[in-house]
Structure 1
Amino acid sequence: MNAVVERVRAAQYAVARVSVAPLLVRAGIFVIVFAGFALAFPAEVLSGRPIFFLAVAALLPAFGPRKVWTTFTALVTVGGWLLATDGYGRPVALWRLLAVAALLYLGHTLCALAALLPYDAMVDPELITRWLVRSAAVLLGSAVLGVLLLQATGTGGGAGHQWVTVLGLLVAVGMSLLLGWLLRRR
């Protein structure tokens, strides 16, 4: 009984020390991941029970940004995109493709920031602003480069966007494997 009381007091102490900035970053993770789900999945799937499961899945990287949940939600988003385009025949719109890619990147980079911030960290708002400005610069450069590559290769149709999506997923998995191998080698 004494151990339970001590754990409750420890939890109360930890909750009392939580600061606003790490909570806002984690709330941003939830919003961005859930928005990615909403854009990627077909509208027919986003009703009833599936929306509840997607909301729970969007909470997972917010609570565990250092764990596998970031990768899991990215794969769920890509799976939803492929389900919408292949399974439900939704036409591929460039704006939606770029928006889903941007949300995937923002979710990933905010998880990286949240992994560095303990719950009780006192954070200068300029740090978060600089982080988001850098992310916006990467997104802008990637969008411009992506559109230019699509135009240069002439893969403007739906099959071209699907091909680029699968190729991008393969590159991401390959880079993850390469980075993991390099880290283990160290």
Structure 2
Amino acid sequence: MSAVVERVRAVQYAVARVSVAPLLVRAGIFVIVFAGFALAFPAEVLSGRPIFFLAVAALLPAFGPRRVWTTFTALVTVGGWLLATDGYGRPVALWRLLAVAALLYLGHTLCALAALLPYDARVDPELITRWLVRSAAVLLGSAVLGVLLLQATGTGGGAGYQSVTVLGLLVAVGMSVLLGWLLRRR
């Protein structure tokens, strides 16, 4: 019984020490991951029980940014995108593709920031602002470069975007495997 009381006191102490900035970053993770789900998945799937499961899935990286949940939600988002375009025949729009990619990147970078911030950290707001400005610069550069490459190669239309999506997913998974192997080797 005393172990349970000690555990409850430890949780109460931890909750009392939580500061606002790490909570806002984690709330941002939830909002961005859920928005990515909403853009990627077809509208027919976003009702009833599936929306509840997607909301729970969006909470997972907010609570465990150092764990596998960030990768899991990214794969769920890409799976929703592929389901919408292949399974439900939604035409691929460049704005939607860029928005889903931007939300994937923002979710990933906010999880990286949240992994560095303990719940009780006192954070200067300028740190979060600089982090987000740097992320916005990366997103802008990537969007401009992506559109220019699509125009230069003539890879337009739904099939071209679809192949680029699958290729990007394969590169991301390959890089994750390579980085995991390098970290274990060290």
- Scaled by the length of structure 1, the TM-score of the pair is 0.98
What CA deviation, in whole Å up to 9, does each residue of 1:89-120 have, x standing for no partner?
00000000000000000000000000000000
- Scaled by the length of structure 2, the TM-score of the pair is 0.98
Percent identity between the aligned chains? 96
SS of residue in 1 equivalent to 2:91: coil
Q: Distance in 2 between matches of 1:34 and 1:42?
A: 14
Cα distance, 1:7 vs. partner? 1.1
**Aligned residue in 1 for 2:100:** 100
Cα distance, 1:154 vs. partner? 0.6
Q: Distance in 2 between matches of 1:2 and 1:179?
A: 44
Q: Distance in 2 between matches of 1:170 and 1:7?
A: 43
Q: Distance in 1 between matches of 2:166 and 2:7?
A: 47
What CA deviation, in whole Å up to 9, does each residue of 1:54-112 have, x standing for no partner?
00000000000000000000000000000000000000000000000000000000000
SS of residue in 2 equivalent to 1:14: helix
| Between 42-51 and 174-183, the greater mean CA deviation after superposition | 174-183
Q: Distance in 2 between matches of 1:57 and 1:38?
A: 12
Stretches of structure 2 that go unaligned for 5 or more consecutive residues are none
Q: Distance in 1 between matches of 2:49 and 2:185?
A: 44
Matches within 5 A, 1:69-148: 69-148=69-148
SS of residue in 2 equivalent to 1:59: helix
Q: Distance in 1 between matches of 2:173 and 2:71?
A: 10
Cα distance, 1:182 vs. partner? 2.1
Q: Distance in 1 between matches of 2:181 and 2:12?
A: 41
| Between 148-157 and 95-104, the greater mean CA deviation after superposition | 148-157
Q: Distance in 1 between matches of 2:29 and 2:52?
A: 17
| Between 24-33 and 169-178, the greater mean CA deviation after superposition | 169-178
Cα distance, 1:178 vs. partner? 1.8
Stretches of structure 1 that go unaligned for 5 or more consecutive residues are none
Cα distance, 1:181 vs. partner? 2.2
Matches within 5 A, 1:1-186: 1-186=1-186
SS of residue in 2 equivalent to 1:96: helix
Q: Distance in 2 between matches of 1:44 and 1:164?
A: 25
Aligned length: 186
Q: Distance in 1 between matches of 2:2 and 2:179?
A: 46
Q: Where does structure 1 differ by over 3 angstroms across 4 or more consecutive aligned residues? A: none
Q: Distance in 1 between matches of 2:176 and 2:11?
A: 35
Cα distance, 1:2 vs. partner? 1.5
Cα distance, 1:36 vs. partner? 0.1
What CA deviation, in whole Å up to 9, does each residue of 1:139-159 have, x standing for no partner?
001000100111111111100
Q: Distance in 1 between matches of 2:5 and 2:118?
A: 24
RMSD (Å), alpha carbons: 0.7
